[in-house]
A = this chain, B = another copy of it.
């Protein structure tokens, strides 16, 4: 099994609903350093799992919709808290759509899965893994 990972980041504001969050119920923010890992069993005739430049561009495009925003105002997240788990899942789902649309190349459409990890600090991070 091959895995190729690219790293980028986004900086957002948000707040959480629910007493369990304590002071994080207040409006605050986060830098998410985001690792997107693509997994698959075979390389193409160039010897790559997918074009790493196109993978990075797809991740950039997905993060551009979050960059420098207050996620509390984003209708996509109206029904949920924008926890690091939820944002990881959203980024993974949006990357999956781009892969399936062929945006990362034809060979990438045969990939097995994607894992998205969001680092919210040097001591905490979360991932979401899904099939492609």
Contact = CB atoms under 8 A, between A and B. Distances in A.
Interface in A3-61: 3-9, 11-14, 16-18, 20-24, 26-33, 43, 46-49, 51-53, 56
Contact of A123 (B8, B12, B126): B8
Contacts of A124: 4-7, 52, 56
A125 B5 contact: yes
Copies in the complex: 6
A11 B33 contact: no
A13 B83 contact: no
Interface of A: 1-9, 11-14, 16-18, 20-24, 26-33, 43, 46-49, 51-53, 56, 67-70, 80-86, 88-89, 117, 120-130
Given A2-B126, A3-B117, A26-B70, 18 more contacts: A7-B123, A9-B122, A11-B29, A13-B13, A13-B14, A14-B29, A17-B46, A20-B51, A23-B67, A26-B69, A29-B30, A31-B32, A31-B121, A33-B122, A43-B83, A47-B82, A49-B126, A56-B124
